[in-house]
Amino acid sequence: MNYCEVKAEERLEYNQLLDEFILGCKTEQKIGMEYERIPVNKYGKEVVPYEGEFGICELLREFAKADNWDYILDNNEIIGLKKLHNTITLEPGCQFELSLEPQDTIAELKLKIEEIDAALKPLLEDFEIELLNIGVSPKTTYKNIKLIPKQRYHIMANYLWGILSDVMMRETAGIQVGIDFKSEEDAMRKFKLANLMMPFGTAMFANSGIRGGVNTGYKSFRALAWLNTDNERCGFATKFNTNMCFKDYVNTLLDTPMIFINRENIPVAINGRVTFKQFMEKGYEGFFPSIEDWKLHSNLYFPEVRLRNFIEIRNHDCVGGGLEYSVPALYKGIMYSESALEEVEKILNRFTTNEIKELRYNVARSAIHSKIGKTPILDICRELADISFCALKLEGAQEENFLTPLIEMLKKGKCPSDK
């Protein structure tokens, strides 16, 4: 059989697409975290390149030997490391991302990050590299940041059509949180609420005002970059309705243009010529879809809240000083408490979808100093943090302490960019 062919009995069915989300239903409620930072040289604060004697590739090579990590390769180039269920991967502009195995507690996530950072520290010092807890490269802009040699990133860079897509890919760093769901109903409830919360989360952790060495006038230039990356695959993932279900999300993905597929580890560029629905119906240049194509297509869709076999809440600038743990704490306290869910739904459901969409643009510029309608969002941000704090405190594991840096900052009426 030619590798571009798929047997009739192996053709992808609609129910297989749904299964990818249905199988995510689980009884446990863990918390996941992806933590990106920007590697800069210690003294000039320029982004460290991939190549070179003191580049990121060589750093990964040395760290793999020193701490017993395995290589992640793309066309024989090192693009990351893995060890058990944890990975260190590189974003397009060499942003350094830790993806951690979901844990029961935030303290366990913190311990794992501290362990990896401690092991990295001697090499970072030798290479004179600093990992910045910030949402955008403060000095080097995308024109001076080469893409790493990962094949998919070059295809994406050629395809994404927004005016700030290069900024998003090469300059920005964020923190993402993973939330579990027990059922389809539970997933949709949390998914909807996470979308309503997202602009407030972006505002609270806005930390990317300085870019190219100057003040941009935006509290989160990273959020602005995402708003100008690709309207067909960024922003809200679906239209909200009271009976929203997995099929709504699947149908949105089906109507989204495809970027590429992989065949025998070789990317085949599609560049938006067909949607996934059209790919299922007619194929593309002799290729027909597999479940792996669907998984890849799902991962090349970048809404602010993404549905996988968990809920991925995505649009926060990278922060430090303890605030990096406030991000998962905020959502854990709300999403895993029935009373907290009800309180936050009551607060946010009074706003229309259009008001929430408009707020996404306002918080990029003004963060917590924005308004939704005539309501200052700082008051709402304080409420959300307090609700989460109380819910975590009731659990008795002292995880509410991870929210203290956020609550103290909000009391002062500030976000990280205001510093």
Q: What are the mean pLDDT values of the chain's consecutive 10-residue runs (419 residues total)?
A: 48 93 95 98 95 97 97 96 96 97 97 98 98 98 98 96 97 98 97 96 98 97 97 83 89 96 94 97 95 97 96 98 98 98 97 93 98 96 98 97 98 96
Q: How many residues does the chain have?
A: 419
Q: Is the pTM of this model over 0.75?
A: yes
List the one residue out of 158, 353, 393, 389 whose CA is nearest residue 241.
353
* CA dihedral over 251, 262, 231, 335, signed as positive or negative: positive
Report yes or no: 227 and 364 within 8 Å, Cβ to Cβ: yes
List the one residue out of 240, 174, 233, 168 whose CA is nearest residue 202.
174
Which pLDDT value is given to residue 3? Answer: 40
Which pLDDT value is given to residue 242? Answer: 76
Which pLDDT value is given to residue 10? Answer: 67
CA separation for the pair 369, 351 (Å, rounded): 18
Q: Break the chain into its structural domains and give their ranges.
A: 23-256+301-414
**H helices, E strands: number in the chain:** 15, 17
Report yes or no: 333 and 403 within 8 Å, Cβ to Cβ: yes
Which amino acid, 154? H
HSE toward the beta carbon, residue 399, CA cutoff 13 A: 27
Give residue 323's Cα distance to chain centre: 16
Which pLDDT value is given to residue 1? Answer: 36
Report yes or no: 363 and 203 within 8 Å, Cβ to Cβ: yes
Beta bridge partners of 96: 37, 90
List the one residue out of 320, 322, 318 whose CA is nearest residue 405.
322
Q: Which residue has the tokens 């989460």?
A: 388
List the one residue out of 173, 112, 189, 180 whose CA is nearest residue 138.
173
Q: CATH topology for 23-256+301-414?
A: Creatine Kinase; Chain A, domain 2 (3.30.590)
CA separation for the pair 167, 228 (Å, rounded): 9
Give residue 105's Cα distance to chain centre: 20
Which pLDDT value is given to residue 90? Answer: 98
* Spatial CB neighbours of 315, under 8 Å, sequence gap ≥ 6: 174, 198, 201, 202, 223, 226, 304
Greatest Cα-to-Cα distance within the chain, rounded to the nearest angstrom? 66
345: left (phi over 0), alpha (psi -120 to 50) or beta: alpha
